[in-house]
Amino acid sequence: MFRAAEVATHVLVTFLALVLIGLVLVSCANIFMRYVLEINWLAADEIQVFIMIGLTFLGAIVVSAQEGQLRLNLLGQFHAPRLKALLGIIEAGVTALVCGFVVYHSWFFLSRVFSMGQRGGSSGIPMWIPHSVVTICFAMLTLIAVLKLLHRVRTFGTHNGE
């Protein structure tokens, strides 16, 4: 299972890098069109903001999967390995609860935006599309946290789980 997660993470990182390169190219094209051709593509800025926000949330999935998130490790670095493992269980549990809370509430917000038919000001993009990134990414973060929690509980007290 962890090998599949590593492959999925690598694919996501590659995808994010390609999208970021695409954003730079769109930005260059927009600058060229605006200042050389004197064509103003208003939707480009709005679309770029939506994509950058999406990149940020998708990047959070990668960081969480690779356990690269920032954490306050003052308690864990001064105590026994068994206590570190217990703190890891607590961390995963709290993360799952908080991310699940965000999913729950963002789903209702997303439903309202969808039912209202709200669209972007200059791009005309249905606003449920960029807003769905929050719900989807936090759902993935919740899933990752639950999987970490289950793994840490299952291995607690063993040599690997300290």
Which residue did the predictor score with more confidence, 100 or 71?
A: 100
Compute how many other C-beta atoms are within 10 angstroms of the C-beta atom of residue 65: 21
Where would I find the beta strands (DSSP E) of the chain?
A: none
Count of residues in the chain: 162
Q: How far apart are CA 162 and CA 149, in angstroms?
A: 15
Nearest to 161 by CA among 73, 68, 88: 88
pLDDT average, residue stretch 111-136: 89
pTM of the model: 0.80
| 112 touches 35 (CB < 8 A) | no
Bridge partners of residue 126, in order along the sequence: 119
How does pLDDT run across 40-99, given as a tens digit for each residue?
A: 888 888 888 889 999 999 999 888 888 776 666 666 566 677 888 888 899 899 999 999
Whole-angstrom Cα Rg for the chain? 20
Collapse the DSSP code of 131 into the 3-class scheme (helix H, G, I; strand E, B; otherwise coil) and give the result. helix
Residue at token pair 């605006």: 34
DSSP 3-state of 84: helix
Question: What's the pLDDT at 71?
Answer: 64
d(CA 82, CA 161): 8
How far is Cα 110 from Cα 116, in angstroms, rounded to an integer?
10
